[in-house]
Amino acid sequence: METAAAPDVPKGRRRKMSAAARKRIGDAQRKRWAASKRTSPAASSEARKRKRKLSAAGKRAIVEATKKRWAAFHAAKKTETPTVARKRAAKKTAAKKAPVKASRKAAKKGAATRPQKAAVTPALPAATE
């Protein structure tokens, strides 16, 4: 019988590391972590800037300026053409375009029912000489 870990092991020889080697690697890693933790808080506190806070007066000024901008935008929109007039103009242009489309449809319909002349042209007597 084999243990559960045995199937995971490759068929070839497995390299083993001595306890002393594992200890050296662990000590070196702990030393690296200690060094990084020791220098990290001091450096990051100097580099990190204090968060700036918006004062109530500053926020009020921004809100007022935004409201003023939107009021100007809406006033400019009103002085253009009213919505009803724009809709009427759109309807008139659509009504003018409709007859053109209808005449094109009628022309297509008539062309489909008419016999085509291209079938008659190949039988010319002059082409045989």
Give residue 23's pLDDT band: very low, low, confident or very high (50, 70, 90): very high
pLDDT of residue 125: 60
d(CA 123, CA 63): 85
pLDDT band per the 50, 70, 90 thresholds, residue 18: very high
Domain borders along the chain are: 57-103
Percent helix, strand and coil across the chain, each to the nearest 5 = 70, 0, 30
Instruction: Give CA–CA dist 121/68, Å, rounded.
Output: 76
List pLDDT tens digits, range 54-101: 999 999 999 999 999 999 999 998 887 666 677 777 777 665 555 566
Contacts of 81 (CB under 8 A, 6+ apart): 89
